[in-house]
């Protein structure tokens, strides 16, 4: 596999890559034991990167395979089947560094950086998040000034995946204007960590709850980069950021698919082998339902992969595709967490161990519901986006609007009961969240319906599971919960007074 991989048929390459990962994680190195320690062994990463998996996100003119989404997703899925942290490492490199560099980088920098990835196993990441401005990226305080042909950048970032380990970074910052205020727009710069004037140290490492293999921490930025290392925007830096983040969210199904499939395979095998009262676990009705939920997650994720391949290539501008990007990210990561919860429950006591695949999977996938936009925020934005389109179409009935909306026109009739109501400006934010969850499921199921000749039994399992989710969300919506927390809750609430 160490031939020039751009000349290898990809179906051959990915089959061999899967075999290689299986050998490394299950035979040569004990991945269950690795779940107890931080960082992958350097020799393991060395052997993985020898296969040049990141070549899928490098243009052919620089020796890569051409940045084809289909190949990127298959690499992510192959990795997450064996290790979710490995897949996230690849995802950070592909969607948050290599693809934006391929689309917006200046030629001289592209040549130099891509060469390092192809020849020296380099890795890269993206620095956006700041302590005081998590999802509020537009108010970041990292700033730059342009002086004597150099961009001088100062600030602090945290929770960047691969902190202290990446060789290259895309750093986001706002320009300091002559009056001392910061520009509203955001710019992106490539930094090379092996150069003293561009080195970004990790000054404190976090003890992250899961994803032990990936270092996270606080990064202090005080660097100077030449003008050629600034990404070239097509309009504004904010649109560049949206294009990049939406493309990343649209590739979450790649990470989700392999992860969910592994949990499905492990859970099926366990429930067939495990005997309770002389019968297998899989003969118990409630267990069958739990396994079917993971199969529905696998099916929904497959449909999302097809959609992502068709829409998320770097030739497309995704800055305005917020609804679809948010749907894929939020639903996939919720499905990952639900599948992990089921897998752990079915595994019984053994699952509640960090060196067991179920326990490790549960903590590893949890942050996926938080980073790149918390799911609660994304679901609310999905609902707000649809309501905005409804206003533009002068329609107040959600079902009637969804009948003509391109992402739901084939699926909504299957679930009319849950959408035939009026949406107006009086809907509380907590109920907009529920509407966003409902919209996300019906949009996701349309992706499944658009897969010709996909296993019809899996499609029907998925339809029933989606309907069960919609019924639950709709029930919550109809209760019109309007409770607010009370700050002085301890007044007259001590149970011992009533003895």
pLDDT in tens, the chain (499 residues): 444 455 689 999 999 999 999 999 999 998 888 878 899 999 999 999 999 999 999 999 999 999 999 999 999 999 999 999 999 999 999 999 999 999 999 999 999 999 999 999 999 999 999 998 878 888 999 999 999 999 999 999 999 999 989 999 999 999 999 999 999 999 999 999 999 999 999 999 999 999 999 999 999 999 999 999 999 998 999 999 999 999 999 999 999 999 999 999 999 999 999 988 889 999 999 999 999 999 999 999 999 999 999 999 999 999 999 999 999 999 999 999 999 999 999 999 999 998 999 999 999 999 999 999 999 999 999 999 999 999 999 999 999 999 999 999 999 999 999 999 999 878 999 999 999 999 999 999 999 999 999 999 999 999 999 999 999 999 999 997 889 999 999 999 999 999 9
Please tell me the predicted confidence (pLDDT) of residue 53. Answer: 98
* Look-up of token digits 């004037």: 197
Nearest CA among 340, 330, 387, 386 for reference residue 360:
340
Please tell me the predicted confidence (pLDDT) of residue 424. Answer: 85
Tens digit of pLDDT for each residue in 47-105? 999 999 999 999 999 999 999 999 999 999 999 999 999 999 999 999 999 999 999 99
Tens digit of pLDDT for each residue in 167-206? 999 999 999 999 999 999 999 999 999 999 999 999 999 9
CA-to-CA distance for 341 and 362, rounded, in angstroms? 6
Q: Which residues contact 418 (CB under 8 A, 6 or more apart)?
A: 438, 470, 471, 473, 474
Nearest CA among 17, 25, 35, 34 for reference residue 78:
17
Strands, E, within 128-266: which ranges? 143-147, 150-158, 168-175, 187-192, 202-205, 217-226
Please tell me the predicted confidence (pLDDT) of residue 134. Answer: 78
CA-to-CA distance for 1 and 496, rounded, in angstroms? 70
CA-to-CA distance for 430 and 425, rounded, in angstroms? 13
Residue 169 C-beta-side C-alpha neighbours within 13 Å: 29
The enclosing H or E element of 97 equals none
CA-to-CA distance for 177 and 42, rounded, in angstroms? 44
Nearest CA among 361, 44, 49 for reference residue 212:
361
CA-to-CA distance for 297 and 311, rounded, in angstroms? 21
Tell me the β-bridge partners of 205. Answer: 217
Quick check: 315 and 104 in contact, CB under 8 A? no
Quick check: 173 and 184 in contact, CB under 8 A? no
């Amino acid at each position: 596999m160490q031939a020039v991989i751009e000349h290898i048929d990809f179906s051959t390459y990915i089959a061999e890559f899967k075999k290689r990962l299986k050998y490394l994680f299950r035979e040569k190195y004990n991945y269950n034991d690795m779940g107890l320690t931080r960082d992958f062994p350097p020799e393991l990463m060395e052997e993985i990167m020898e296969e040049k998996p990141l070549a899928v996100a490098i243009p052919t003119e620089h020796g890569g395979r051409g940045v084809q989404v289909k190949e990127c997703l298959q690499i992510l899925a192959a990795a997450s089947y064996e290790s979710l942290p490995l897949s996230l490492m690849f995802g950070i490199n592909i969607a948050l560094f290599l693809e934006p560099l391929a689309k917006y980088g200046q030629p001289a920098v592209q040549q130099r950086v891509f060469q390092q990835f192809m020849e020296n196993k380099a890795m890269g990441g993206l620095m956006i998040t700041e302590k005081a401005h998590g999802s509020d990226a537009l108010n970041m305080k990292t700033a730059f000034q342009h002086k004597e042909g150099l961009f001088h950048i100062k600030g602090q970032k945290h929770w960047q995946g691969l902190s202290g380990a990446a060789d290259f970074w895309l750093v986001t910052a706002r320009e300091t204007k002559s009056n001392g205020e910061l520009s509203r727009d955001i710019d992106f710069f490539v930094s090379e960590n092996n150069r003293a004037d561009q080195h970004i140290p990790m000054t404190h490492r976090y003890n992250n709850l899961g994803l032990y293999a990936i270092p996270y921490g606080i990064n202090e930025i005080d660097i100077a980069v030449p003008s050629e290392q600034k990404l070239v925007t097509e309009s504004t830096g904010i649109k560049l950021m949206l294009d990049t983040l939406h493309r990343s969210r649209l590739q979450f199904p790649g990470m989700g698919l392999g992860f969910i499939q592994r949990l499905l395979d492990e859970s099926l095998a366990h429930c067939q082998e495990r005997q309770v009262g002389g019968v297998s676990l899989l003969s118990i009705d409630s267990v069958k339902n739990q396994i079917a939920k993971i199969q529905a997650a696998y099916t929904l994720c497959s449909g999302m992969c097809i959609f992502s391949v068709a829409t998320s290539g770097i030739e497309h501008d995704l800055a305005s595709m917020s609804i679809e990007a948010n749907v894929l990210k939020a639903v996939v990561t919720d499905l990952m967490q639900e599948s992990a919860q089921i897998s752990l429950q079915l595994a019984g006591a053994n699952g509640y161990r960090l060196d067991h695949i179920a326990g490790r999977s549960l903590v590893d996938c949890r942050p996926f519901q938080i980073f790149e936009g918390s799911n609660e925020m994304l679901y609310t934005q999905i609902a707000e986006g649809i309501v905005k389109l409804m206003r533009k179409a002068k329609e107040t009935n959600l079902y009637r609007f969804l009948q003509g909306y391109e992402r739901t026109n084939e699926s909504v009739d299957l679930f009319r009961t849950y959408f035939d109501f009026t949406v107006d400006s009086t809907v509380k934010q907590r109920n907009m969240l529920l509407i966003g969850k409902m919209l996300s499921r019906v949009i996701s199921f349309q992706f499944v319906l658009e897969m010709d000749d996909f296993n019809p039994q899996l499609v029907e399992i998925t339809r029933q599971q989606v309907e069960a989710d919609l019924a639950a969300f709709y029930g919550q919506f109809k209760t019109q919960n309007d409770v607010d927390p009370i700050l002085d809750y301890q007044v007259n609430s001590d149970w011992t007074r009533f003895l």
